Structure 1
Amino acid sequence: MSGCCALLAWALLALLGLGAPREDAPGSCCAIVPRREWKAPASKCGEELQLPVLYVVVSHTAGSHCDSPASCLKQVQNVHSYHSKTLNWCDVGYNFLIGEDGLVYEGRGWNIKGDHSGTTWNPMSIGISFMGNYMERSPPPRALRAAQSLLACGVAQGVLSPTYEVKGHRDVQRTLSPGDQLYEIIRTWPHYHE
């Protein structure tokens, strides 16, 4: 299956809600677009997180948003290029990226330490970044649902503690991320702790 067709299949699963975790299917997960589908180069990272992880740090990329599988594929590639080529990191800095298309894009995944929140928080948290700038606008509901499904997936797989805490990027570093509008939203999530 070509990359474009596979990505459209992921988008269809997300839009139909077929990738959402179900109570009767432990370990089932939302549709996560794997690295191979967005044509990620091989990762040069190897430092593993100690599982299950207790913290999730939510950020925004502060760049352009994307609202279709094609535009999000390009945007996740742009973020990867900036992190790996400009910043000279071993890979994209986030564990997962969320597009306004309602899909979750695999970054470093559940097991590998990210570069998203500084030396204190990176080794003990999963970094989830919404692709876009959310200072003046909010992500659409489908993107927020994708993030919530991802968190449920992590708990179901046992890689995220059932008592995990969500933090905004600005809670752990001096930054405007995840943007004023997204920050107000995540502060209403049940696992949020300042």
Structure 2
Amino acid sequence: MEQKVNVVSRSQWGAAAALRRERLTDSAQRVIIHHTAFESCKSLSECNDQLVTIQTMHMKERGFDDIGYNFLVAGDGTMFEGRGWGVAGAHTRGNNHDSLGIAFMGNFNRDTPSQEAVSAVTRLLQSAVCQGFLHQDFVLLGHRDLGNTECPGEKLYAVLPQLRRTD
């Protein structure tokens, strides 16, 4: 059964226009979990500011067409639209053509992800499967599974099995 997921839209958090949007050719086959490695944001305005900072860094310093992630989640479970559904991300080099990139906002080498954030991502994945944006037999990975990185941090990586359960 699909659970409603409230997502803060790009316009609500103040996103700049994407330079280009490449559509996925089919439902995503994989979900790749990241962390932003910033401090956790504590309010909607603080999260909005952080999102603008991340998007600016991704576009100006890294040369991306937009913020790299499809969605981001704050510690209180607030979900933010990054590139959104059906759009190829720029979150995991060589692995963006068939995946959905979701970033937990915070640094999970030292912080433990909140149950609210974990639950919000689980609901988002359920919704994605129900809407056809994510294949029902998707594979869930941490960024470190596909590259030489600590991302998504030890404490978030440890809870990935909880995210794999979407029943």
Name the TM tier (shorter chain).
Answer: over 0.9
How far is 1:190 from its partner? 3.2
Amino acid at match of 1:99: A
Residues 59, 169 of structure 1: 8 Å contact kept: yes
Of 133, 138, 141, the residue aligned with 2:115 is 141
**Matched ranges for 1:1-194 at <5 A:** 23=1, 29-119=4-94, 121-190=95-164
How many residue pairs align between the two structures?
A: 166
Per-residue deviation, 1:62: 0.9
Question: Which ranges of 4 or more aligned residues in structure 1 deviate by more than 2 Å?
Answer: 187-192
Normalising to structure 1: TM-score of the pair? 0.81
Q: Identify the residue that residue 7 of structure 1 maps to in structure 2.
A: none
The structural deviation recorded for 1:88 is: 2.0
Q: 1:188 to 1:149 in 2, by over 3 A?
A: closer
Give the % identical residues.
35
Name whichever of 61-70 and 155-164 sits farther off: 61-70
Extract unaligned runs of 5+ from structure 2.
Answer: none
TM superposition score normalised by structure 2: 0.93
- How far, CA to CA, are the matches of 2:68 and 2:138 in structure 1? 20
Give the distance between the partners of 2:162 and 2:105, measured in 1 at CA. Answer: 20
Structure number having the greater helix percentage: 1
- CA drift at 1:145: 1.0
CA contact (8 A) 1:166 1:191 kept: no
What whole-Å deviation, never above 9, does each CA across 1:133-173 have from its counterpart, x for those lacking one?
10022111111111111111101111101111110110011
Give ranges in structure 1 of 5+ residues lacking alignment.
1-22
CA shift, 1:191, in A, is 5.3
| Higher Cα Rg, which structure | 1
